[in-house]
Amino acid sequence: MAKKTYIKAITEGIDIALAEDPKTLVFGEDVGKNGGVFRATNGLQEKYGVDRVFSTPLAESGILGMSIGLAATGWRPVPEIQFMGFTFEAMDSIAAQMSRIRFQYNGTKHAPITIRTPYGGGTHTAELHGDDLENFFVGIPGLRVVAPSSAYDAKGLIISAIENNDPVLFLENLRLYRSVKGEVPDDKYTVPLDKANVVQEGTDVTIIAYGGEVSEAQKAAKKLAKDNISAEIIDLRSLYPLDTDTIFESIKKTHRVVIVQEAQKMAGVGAQVASAISEGAIMYLDAPVTRVAAPNSVYPFPQTENVWLPGARDIEDAVREVINY
């Protein structure tokens, strides 16, 4: 087992899926010879050929429309949308078509499509390149949404997503691609698509996060520990469906919760988590549910994104607020 970057782990997972199933196809803008804009598919076309790993025109609706046709004829497509901000171009394919196939055919047909897309800020990108739009997708029945925060989970989840028979939106946090490293086995393994992970155990407060905000929660927890505040950190991993069992068990122990998301606060994943807690675990709380999120505005210019994005200090302040309630 060696230390690998988040993006290297994703590449390895896709490689394994291609090797195991000749019906797996990987494609998207610049995905072929260039290995994708971030090189997540680097070397795969050379290894598996242009018929299985190939570039497409810059047409997101075409990429996902083709994915539906391929899935309907027995293939297992792994399309890439270059940035999450461009998924709106293909929303009809996601919300009105691929996610409904299992229901339309009473479970006799499926759409085993894994849509990979980078998302999130912190890398000073242009407009539409740093958007967090997961809130638009977690309410679509039939679509799974996952967002790994570690290299280990990135590899295990991409393999699970590709092997799954329902469509999966696989969110890859931009700032984690090369900044996060972890121990990752060389061989195949899987991570469940519907199970949260307790990253750090604690007794005083539960911090729930996902994607790039998990590392921010860990930074905050280190500072809080200096004041003898013990934080338990839950990485959601799966945004839909939610693993409420893990969340509730933690709250039973800590009696306080802070929910963190990088996206805008309104109608976000954090709101759904808070709603689930109010329905299933409110009796265990000693303080109100507190949320940390970005402002309800469009993603800012690169010069101001560090102020706009939720960080460790924001999480720390929120925890102190619920501790002192």
CATH number of 197-323: 3.40.50.920
Q: Name which of 238, 231, 203 is nearest 217 in CA terms.
A: 231
Q: Do domains 2-184 and 197-323 have the same CATH topology?
A: yes
Look at residue 298 in the predicted model and tell me its pLDDT.
87
Render pLDDT for 278-306 as a digit per residue (tens, 0 to 9): 999 999 999 999 999 999 998 888 888 88
- Indicate whether this model's pTM tops 0.85: yes
CATH number of 2-184: 3.40.50.970
Catalytic residue among 110, 124, 129, 255: 129
Render pLDDT for 186-235 as a digit per residue (tens, 0 to 9): 999 999 999 999 999 999 999 999 999 999 999 999 999 999 999 999 99
- The sheet carrying 53-55 orders its strands as 53-55, 24-28, 76-80, 114-119, 168-173, 144-146, 238-240
Sequence spans of domains, the chain: 2-184, 197-323
Q: Name which of 143, 138, 29 is nearest 79 in CA terms.
A: 29
Render pLDDT for 83-118 as a digit per residue (tens, 0 to 9): 999 999 999 999 999 999 999 999 999 999 999 999
The reply to whether 124 belongs to the active site is: no
Q: Name which of 46, 47, 41, 37 is nearest 13 in CA terms.
A: 41
